[in-house]
């Protein structure tokens, strides 16, 4: 398991990832999506496990991501598919600290 850190402070992370936005970031050899709902941050795989639609084009609803292709819904905390039939979404553990946003992959 590898840990990556985005930003160098909490304030910088809040500026990098605006409320209810989805950012596509490169961490090592992988691209992942990062989103924020208030002070909660979520990191998840770039593509929907159903038909590989890019989830950075999806819609955030509370702590869920809605796929732009077929409106499948995924819980951003657990990765569980909430609507539709496909494998769960891969999610990554995140933690905001004074040194930035730590993401475990």
The CATH number that applies at residue 7 is 2.102.10.10
> Domains in the chain: how many in total?
1
pLDDT for 1: 87
Mean residue pLDDT of the chain comes to: 96
Concatenate the DSSP letters of all residues of 39-93 into one string: TEEEEEESB-TTT--BGGGSEEETTEEE-TTT--EEETTT--EEESSSPPPPEEE
**Structural domain boundaries, residue 28:** 3-104
Position 78 pLDDT exceeds 90: yes
**How many residues in the chain?**
105
- Rounded to 5 degrees, what angle do the CA atoms 62, 12, 66 make? 20
Q: What is the arithmetic mean of pLDDT over 81-92?
A: 96
Give the pTM: 0.95
Beta bridge partner(s), residue 49: none
pLDDT for 71: 96
Q: What is the arithmetic mean of pLDDT over 49-58?
A: 96
Comparing CA positions, the residue from 62, 40, 41, 58 lying closest to residue 49 is 58
């Amino acid at each position: 398991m590898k840990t990556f850190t985005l930003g160098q402070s909490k304030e910088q992370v809040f500026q990098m990832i605006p409320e209810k936005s989805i950012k596509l970031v490169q961490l090592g050899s992988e691209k992942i999506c990062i989103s924020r709902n208030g002070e909660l941050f979520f990191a998840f795989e770039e593509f929907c496990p159903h038909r590989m639609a890019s989830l950075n084009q999806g819609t955030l609803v509370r702590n869920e991501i809605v796929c732009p292709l077929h409106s499948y819904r995924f819980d951003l905390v657990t990765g569980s598919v909430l609507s539709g039939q496909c494998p769960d979404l891969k999610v990554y553990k995140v933690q905001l600290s004074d040194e930035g946003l730590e993401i475990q992959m």
